[in-house]
Amino acid sequence: MKQLKQFSEYFENKSKPFLIMLDIALLLCIGLVDHITGYEIGISLFYLIPISFAAWFGSRLRSIIISSLSVLTIAVADFMAGKEYHHLFIELWNLLIHFGFFVFYAIVLSLVKTNLYERKRLIEELQKTLSEVKQLSEILPICSYCKKIRDDEGYWEGVETYISKHTDTLFSHGMCPECAEKVMKEFEEFKKKSGH
């Protein structure tokens, strides 16, 4: 499993032109083997290798293009090997079946890749959220008077500071109606006492 991950990471870090050239090189090698072995030995299954590379490390469109080129390569290899059909319809039908299978395979593989990457992204997001929830679910020692929280090192910090350090939460300050009324009363009393 580790080697498969390393293999995948190796090709994911390669440039798009490199991967396109690799798809074409694989396709040409398989086409050459197809020509050399002749039409009696079917190797069309091996055309799934460059299609797989294009679908997994490229895009759906690129895998469909490689599928089309694979069918064209099969037709050329059979023609150069001297394969003859009694009817043109039979040859076209066989090529169409290859094309349909290759395209179907390319689309399914690209959907699997997309779903795996989406699943991986969701798992990472859930793990991050879980770690944040764990940080906030601990018992916090809080001062009953000033409401400061004692951290793991024994220092006392304000609630906003503590929560901002341990989560991605930012604070904006306002005043609830009850506190606003209390402050206004205190302010009015202060004004009366000071004579203003």
Please state, in angstroms and rounded to a whole number, the distance separating the CA atoms of residues 36 and 30.
10
User: Could you tell me the residue ranges of all domains in the chain?
Assistant: 2-135
Give the dihedral sign, CA 36/18/49/62. Answer: negative
Pairing outcome for strands 156-157 and 149-150 = antiparallel
Per the structure block, which two tokens stand in for 156? 């006392």
User: What would the pLDDT profile of 137-177 be if each residue is shown by its tens digit?
Assistant: 667 788 888 888 888 788 899 888 887 887 777 778 788 88
Q: Shortest CA distance to 46 belongs to which of 57, 61, 36, 60?
A: 36
Beta bridge partners of 157: 149
pTM, rounded to two decimals? 0.62
- Counting residues of the chain whose pLDDT is more than 90, the rounded percentage is 39
Query: Of the ranges 12-26, 51-65, 138-152, which one carries the lowest mean pLDDT score?
Result: 138-152
Q: Is 34 exposed, middle or buried (0-12, 13-18, 19+ CB in 10 A)?
A: buried
Determine how many CB atoms are found less than 10 A away from the CB of residue 37: 13
pLDDT of residue 83: 82
Q: What is the mean pLDDT of residues 101-106?
A: 96
